[in-house]
A and B are shown apart, each in its own frame.
Chain A
Amino acid sequence: MLRIDDLRVNYGGIEAVKGVTFEVPEGEIVTLIGANGAGKSTTLRAIAGLVKPASGRIHLQAEDITGLSPDRIVSKGITLVPEGRHVFPDLTVLENLKIGAYLRTDSLEDDIKWVYDLFPRLKERSWQAAGTLSGGEQQMLAVGRALMSRPKIMMMDEPSLGLAPLVVKGIFEIIKEINRQGVTILLIEQNANMALHTADTAYVLETGRLTMSGTGKELLNDEAVKKAYLG
């Protein structure tokens, strides 16, 4: 569904992503794992249109979407849940959901209900400013907000970052549930254990290059992966 060919991204003189090629098949959960600074976020940011790739192509189905502006990418059905959640702290929970549907002009009622069914905690806090939510709740809101654009593909940048293990478990359950409901997921994580348990397909990213790939299970049992990422 999403195909990345030889993607290269530079920041000034530094090459953060050095020719990455992978695919995200429709309906799957795909994960990119890797250490801090490996270029995971940069890859997602390039797909989302936040940074322009130096070279390489990004295709959504047959369409070349390389270098489109972020709003065009959203309108194509790709959304990014950013690293660190970045909910709008002064907006209410409901406003955060509505702004997730910024490009839509149809009725949002069903989708708000959908998100509230996935995250009943958010419904209780509908009128609260998002800044007053706990970290886990903010992550739920960031996911819910992304879903409001009715994405085909939801990209998630380290959803487990800074959350308690139990909360992380809940988030991953929801990710699987969302995937079952038909949303393709591209997930990047330092928390390799959770990610590999959840993913259909997994890739390892090391200093800007993909060094390994396989099913989540295969990588979980791989000695090198065990040593480097599951320690």
Chain B
Amino acid sequence: MVRFLLSGDAPRSRILAVLLALVLVGLAFAPFIFPGVRALHTAATICIFILLVASYDLLLGYTGIVSFAHTMFFGLGAYGVALASVHMGRGWDALAVGTLAGALAATVLAWLIGLFSLRVRAIFFAMITLAVASAVAVLVSQLYQLTGGEDGLTYQIPRELTPAFRFGELFGVRLNGRLLNYYLVFFTCLALFLLLLRIVNSPFGRVLQAIRENDFRAEAIGYRVVVYRTAATCMSAAIAALAGSLYAIWLRYVGPDTTLSFEIMIDVLLMVVIGGMGTMYGAVIGATIFVLAQNYLQNLMGLAAEATAGLPLIPDLVDPNRWLMWLGVLFVLSVYFFPTGIVGRLRAGR
């Protein structure tokens, strides 16, 4: 059963298996293990970024395609839900329409980008995605009436998904719509992650890896490389859009800085590299560590600064305001010491 769900792709490292199990259990029972609004928000963000990073890994790690448009697809899904909810009014139908429209728009756009640039050299594709993503970001901030510009959009989602909807208590935790919303995010992300894991272990996924290794030879043994690359781009875009829709449902807000921004694109790149490219599980580890660091490094440093208050220099170094610097240091170190990512490192050594 587990083997079937994981598509035969075992973690192949005991430590990795334990880490993955910890993340899974932690996220599955997050509302009960880590009570509190902030903790639940962090857990939902981790789920969504695991999915987003995994869909990027399909492209970068498995197919060897560099794209800078991934957060654009993420944004398309998010804005789909937001626009539908704004215009159709609060409701499940708005969520469904917005999600589908976002995924469809992402797929079509990915297909168009692929059509024009995947036949040419890989660097050209990267440049086109950069150009299109920038254009879309500018468009979103310019079309103020439609998109809310830099302020973004807030909207209502079905009552059943909001804290106002209460239906009892379990283990001292209040059962409300926020909890339902979390489990919507969690189970959708889990299912789509397992789908991605299946895709990369399918005959199709194997061809993607062959293309990554040697596209010239893949073509020579009969695979239509352009078709496979385009299909991978479209799938990756569609799943990124679905992740975006979930994020929009979770946040009840979209704005350029939560979905479209180039900073998120860099974050996604870092997560995939830190976790380990071309492994899928790297997305789980990378996204979890990254989001936790983003959310809690400052607190941790605050504690460290207090604890070392009497000593010279150290409190100054671990001052919470320097958290971004330390995050950077962590990344540089991890990329330096684990060039194949954490998963690659765990699988190689024992």
Indicate, yes or no, whether A interacts with B: no
| A contact set with B: CB distance below 8 Å | none
